[in-house]
Chain A
Amino acid sequence: MSRIQNAIIGSVRTAIGWVPAQWLPGGTPDPLIGRNAVIGRQASRLDGPLKVAGKARFAAEIAMDRLSYAALAHSPITRGRITRLDTSAAEAAPGVILVLTHRNMPRLNPLPLISITDLGAVGNSNLPIMQDQVIRYNGQVVALVVAETQEQADHAASLLEIDYAAEEARTSFHDAKATARVPASILIEKNHLSVGDAERELERSAHHVDEVYRTPGQNHNAIEPHAVTVAWEGEALLIHDATQMIAASANAIGKLFGLKKGQVRVVSPFVGGGFGGKGLWDHQIVAVAAARLIGRPLRLALTREGVYRIIGGRTPAEQRVAIGADPEGTFTALVHTGYSIMPPYGACPEQYTLGSRALYRSKSFEVVQRHLDLDIVPNTFMRAPGEAIGSFALESAIDELAHSMAIDPIELRLRNLPERHPTTGVPFSQHALGQAYRDGMKRFGWERRSATPGMRREGEWLIGMGCATGSFPYARMPGANIRLTLRRDSSATLSCSAQEMGMGTATVQTQHAADRLGLPLDAITFELGDSALPAAPFAGGSSQTASLAGAVVAAADKLAGELLRLAGNDSPLAGLRAGQVRLAEGSVVSIDDPNRRESYGSILSRAAREEITVAAAGSPPIEFLKFAIHSTSAVFCELRVSTVTGEIRVDRLLGSFDCGTILNPKTATSQLKGGMIMGLGLALTEETLFDERKGRIMNASLADYHLPTHLDVPAIDVIWTGIPDPRTPLGARGIGEIGITGVAAAVANAVFNATGQRIRDLPITLDKLW
């Protein structure tokens, strides 16, 4: 996140700008685009039968002999020191095996923070973990109690006697603004972007809007709380974890505990929802340390409150968006600045301005993010970090500008769509936001919207429509490895440490492999969820599908070469090189002369081989340095607002997406809807209430933090352009996060259309309306 990083990435981009596109990954479109058979099919998820029968085993559900149970104790103060610690009553309680505090916790280094440039670094916090008596945030882990049963551990934890000396803590968002930091970069982007003189352009623009938008903290609230079941056998460590980063966690934990590579195995075949929150935090570390001390397997499942206390969520933010436009509505200035929390010991910059750099043309730009340092559990990546809330500010502001100019808000957006990336000038790989809008308008019946707010009324209800743009960048991660075994019976197994949290990881990669290898779906097995398998990148940044797809491409290419070698001179394929064949219909086939072919079974039989195994890694993902690769969406909302109570009921929600090839319409629809529903929560109900006097989260429960429930969720409509991206594996771009983007603004804009009330402070609860 430094100036050096800016310089390096800047020069790599410049260099790659000169390299012909066809030399790079994605330089020529994936040949599978357009000739897929299984990809694009409505396949039910392959792990469905296990999940509906309750047979999918999650991390806290692994039975072990002599298993012990642990409970955590958390600090009730925000900053200070432990002055007295009496563990005797807890230790004397029935069934207690160990009370672990800073006194007897093994001395460990801090975890290296998650880093874009070091993919082995996965810490969400680099604070010491139970290493001293210092309290650095409210909820920090101060003790772990291990007992024979969970009931005994919970009871004993309540017997701990701990006194604290509290010191003044930094807990006020507003006060921290005076000492805000301006980081040099935001992820891999240079933070401060200044094109022209945006403030002057704003002043002299014919029309302008200049407002501040506030969003509260939010928590991921996966229904499965974080949990780990740990067992040591000598120096070998087995961790059943609920994690989005299997291979990287195994590496990081191994380093921390001084183990050799291969001595740590992290197993996580099912994760009960992640959304960015299921990474490496303090609980895994204390559980591993405690299990080693007692020489027994140990289970630590966080309570729901525990999740709030030690797993960070999305930061609150305060964003200023100002847009200037000429009389035709062409943007002359786009200003997007703001404040969010990022303590120095955290890793997530909440990149809320990234969308504003990529969506619209403007004569001038002024974009910068400022970080606040509070004493708080470090915030982390939560579904569409940055874009989820950044799009609320930007897309509300555009709606405000359109209203003040009496232009249709879609028309205003279409007038400012860019031909190339508006701030880097790099060409888009593919970009059809305009089509997404036009398709969406038609489908939604946008013409029924009244341009004047407050005009549609049914009984006590005011009805309104709104729309907004969503966006999310493409990412493919380096370090995606796959092992591919093809057998004589034309079955194949692909293996890697990838993660399944509900995205349908194995399902779509099985579909992919079926097409890539020219085999039927049921001939393919896709193994994942285990660090003993070849390392795959983490699941995050909507990147996993593309990353794995890139590795499958590499493995299939390598397999083709190996099969040609095995086929030898007695094959119809004799003399062909790897680039001259493709894999289709269970055979290696000459591209130029499809009659020249030999089946896998025939090649392997002649070579007297039962099977052949290749291992490969995806190519370096430098396609996104040459091209601007973004998914975009147009989100439409119709809702009712009660004139009596102010309650809001969303009746219709449509997402029209331009996000590349849809690999499995059934699971993709679910994932996009899932994002949109989280967007409804962001818009209307979700808020982590932070007591600025005490520095404590006040609503650390699912009773007091309001997720959308069934009654809050209307039937949601999802459509897509389906245009493949010529620069990505399979033409796909990743869909895990774009669903949530744009939704909050679409809702807020619909509320304005219904009532004439502009709410710039999420969530839009009824007290803010009348």
Chain B
Amino acid sequence: MAIRINGAEVEAPEDARVSLLDLLRERVHLTGTKVGCNQGACGACTVLVDGERVLSCLTLAAQVDGRSVTTIEGLAEAEALHPLQAAFIDHDGFQCGYCTPGQICAAAAMLAEVAAGAPSYVTADLTAERVPLTREEIRERMSGNLCRCGAHNGIVDAILQVAAERAA
């Protein structure tokens, strides 16, 4: 068994204490995934495991043995930017850039959750097949990703733009 990270096979570490976050940053040198609190409170370490968002600081590397991990470095094809990455630049959805990879990974998974019809705390009609993607839906669903520079408006705008492009 091995962990598939952005398409490449990586062996699970021998030390069972190693988190997915530390595996990525310290052993595979994929430092795009950030550490903000190491206790699941800030979302900076968000990555995709089999397409779903997880907090890599609360995930042991051993837990993802045999699964597929996508980090910010693997979100787009080769050197191109993912539409969310481009939209974050257009809407200035970051300042220092530290929470940004986590925000973008969370946004990618969040859009998939909405597309799959998953409701949220602010969804008015829980029985509807399609959840309308309002600003408030985005704000609620992105609230697990903290930003201290205060780029919240730009982040929501960027996600709305990508959602609109996909719907078009």
Contacts and interface: CB of A to CB of B under 8 A. Distances in A.
B98 A273 contact: yes
A673 B150 contact: yes
B139 A53 contact: no
Contact of A710 (B29, B85, B98, B155): B155
Interface in A131-182: 149-151, 155
B17 to A, nearest CB: 4
B27 to A, nearest CB: 9
A501 interface: yes
A677 interface: yes
Interface stretch (B48-56, B87-95, B125-133): B87-95
A609 to B, nearest CB: 36
A527 interface: no
Interface in A189-226: 220-225
A51 interface: yes
Q: 5 tightest A-B contacts by CB?
A: A54-B32, A674-B150, A51-B97, A272-B98, A502-B95
Contact of B96 (A150, A502, A673, A713): A502
Interface stretch (A25-33, A57-65, A426-434): A57-65
A501 B95 CA distance: 7
B139 A710 contact: yes
Contact of A44 (B89, B100, B136): B89
A115 interface: no
30 contacts: A45-B92, A47-B97, A48-B94, A51-B100, A52-B81, A52-B100, A53-B32, A56-B97, A61-B31, A151-B17, A155-B17, A221-B148, A222-B96, A223-B98, A223-B146, A501-B96, A502-B96, A502-B97, A504-B95, A666-B92, A670-B95, A674-B95, A701-B39, A702-B36, A707-B146, A710-B139, A710-B140, A710-B143, A710-B147, A711-B139
Given A53-B73, A223-B44, A702-B37, A674 B151 contact: yes
Given A224-B98, A670-B92, 5 more contacts: A52-B85, A52-B104, A150-B22, A155-B17, A502-B149
Contact of A667 (B25, B36, B92, B148): B92
B72 interface: yes
A713 B147 CA distance: 11
A151 B18 contact: yes
B10 interface: no
A304 interface: yes
A119 B92 CA distance: 33
A392 interface: no
B89 A676 contact: no
Interface in B64-120: 71-73, 76, 81, 85-86, 88-90, 92, 94-101, 104
Nearest to B25: A61
Interface in A292-308: 301, 303-304
A55 B31 CA distance: 8
Size bracket of the A interface? 35 or more
Interface string A249-287: 000000000000000000000111101000000000000
Contacts of A303: 38
Contacts of A715: 135, 153, 156
Contact of B42 (A51, A53, A702): A702
A272 B153 CA distance: 19
B41 A703 contact: yes
A166 B96 CA distance: 41
A78 B90 CA distance: 49
B61 to A, nearest CB: 11
B89 A48 contact: yes
Interface string B1-34: 0000000000000010110001001100111111
Contacts of B30: 54
A546 interface: no
Contacts of A523: none
A716 B92 CA distance: 14
Interface string A209-249: 00000000000111111000000000000000000000000
Given A52-B89, A151-B15, A270 B97 contact: yes
Contacts of A151: 15, 17-18, 22
B89 A713 contact: no
B15 A149 contact: yes
Contacts of A220: 148
Contacts of B147: 223, 710
B142 interface: yes
Interface residues of B, number: 62
Interface string A609-648: 0000000000000000000000000000000000000000
A669 interface: yes
A467 interface: no
A304 B37 contact: yes
Contacts of B139: 710-711, 713
Q: Is the interface of B mostly helix, strand, loop or mixed?
A: loop
Contacts of B148: 220-223, 273, 275, 678, 707
B92 A223 contact: no
A711 B88 contact: no
A671 interface: yes
A595 interface: no
Given A666-B92, A673-B153, A713-B152, A52 B145 contact: no
Contacts of B162: none
Contacts of B151: 670, 673-674
Interface string A673-704: 11111100000000000000000000001110
Contacts of B38: 303-304
Contacts of A713: 139, 150, 152-153
A709 B35 contact: no
A283 to B, nearest CB: 15
A577 B148 CA distance: 49
Interface string A495-534: 0000001111000000000000000000000000000000
A736 B73 CA distance: 31
A271 B34 CA distance: 13
B95 A671 contact: yes
A272 B148 CA distance: 9
Contacts of A710: 138-140, 142-143, 145, 147, 152, 155-156
Nearest to A63: B29
Contacts of B143: 709-711
A493 B80 CA distance: 27
A17 interface: no
A501 B31 CA distance: 18
Contact of B41 (A48, A150, A702): A702
Nearest to B74: A54
Contacts of A674: 95, 149-151
User: Which of A48, A275, A707 has the most CB atoms of chain B within a 10 A radius of its CB?
Assistant: A48
B134 to A, nearest CB: 12
A503 B25 CA distance: 26
A223 B101 CA distance: 12
B71 A54 contact: yes
B157 to A, nearest CB: 9
Nearest to B26: A150
Contact of A678 (B31, B122, B150): B150
Contacts of A425: none
Contact of B34 (A149, A272, A676, A711): A272
B135 A224 contact: no
B88 A52 contact: yes
A110 interface: no
A55 B41 contact: no
User: Which of B31, B81, B86, B135 has the most CB atoms of chain A within a 10 A radius of its CB?
Assistant: B31
A223 B81 contact: no
Nearest to A274: B96
User: Which of B39, B136, B155 has the most CB atoms of chain A within a 10 A radius of its CB?
Assistant: B39
A112 to B, nearest CB: 28
